[in-house]
């Protein structure tokens, strides 16, 4: 006894699943974010910016000379927080690194009571320019 199997529904289902997994049709929540962060009107020399969309989803980017870029961001309402860090020395050898040990670093921390340390923003789909003055 020979049985026949109609594979068309299974093939169509697999094709639809593969197209969905591959991102066919685009992701409406994909975004990129860039901008400038200043502290008291001066570019924040070095640090990071973090966008928290939810308890389980966030993205961040380094800040260098006041500028940041997050090319793979998520659209939505976000709480933005900032950190300011001393800029690491630019050295090419262990000897140069040892010479920088103990040197005074020009560093302006963000005061913990800064009212702009946490900000609410909306990240739209596509490219966003968001500038912040702390």
Assess if residue 80 is contained within a domain. yes
Assess if residue 134 is contained within a domain. no
Give me the percent of the chain exceeding a pLDDT of 90.
Answer: 57
Would you state the pLDDT for residue 18?
42
Assess if residue 110 is contained within a domain. yes
Would you state the pLDDT for residue 134?
94
SS3 annotation, the chain:
CCCCCCCHHHHHHHHHHHHHHHCCCCCCCEEEEEEEEEECCEECCEEEEEEECCCCCEEEEEEECCEEEEEEEECEEEEEEEEECCCCCCCCCHHHHHHHCCCCCCCCCCCCCCCCCEEEEEECCEEEECCEEC
Structure-block tokens of residue 7: 């594979």
Assess if residue 67 is contained within a domain. yes
Per-residue pLDDT band for 38 (boundaries 50, 70, 90) equals: very high
Would you state the pLDDT for residue 95?
81
Would the pLDDT of 107 be above 50? Answer: yes
Would you state the pLDDT for residue 2?
53
Q: Could you tell me the residue range of the domain that residue 112 belongs to?
A: 27-128
The total number of structural domains in the chain stands at 1
- d(C-alpha 23, C-alpha 17), whole Å: 10
Assess if residue 50 is contained within a domain. yes
What is the domain-level CATH number for residue 36? 2.60.40.1120
């Amino acid at each position: 006894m020979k049985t026949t199997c109609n594979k068309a529904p299974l093939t169509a289902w697999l094709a639809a699943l593969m197209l969905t997994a591959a991102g066919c049709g685009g992701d409406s929540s994909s975004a990129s974010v860039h901008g400038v962060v200043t502290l008291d009107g001066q570019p924040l020399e070095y640090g990071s910016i973090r966008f928290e969309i939810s308890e389980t989803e966030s993205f961040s980017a380094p800040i260098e000379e006041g500028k940041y870029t997050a090319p793979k961001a998520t659209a939505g309402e976000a709480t933005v927080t900032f950190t300011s860090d001393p800029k690491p020395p630019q050295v090419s050898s262990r000897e140069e690194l040892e010479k920088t040990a103990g040197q005074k670093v020009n560093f302006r921390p963000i005061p913990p009571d800064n009212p702009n340390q946490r900000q609410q923003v909306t990240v739209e789909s596509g490219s966003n320019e968001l500038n912040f003055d702390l």
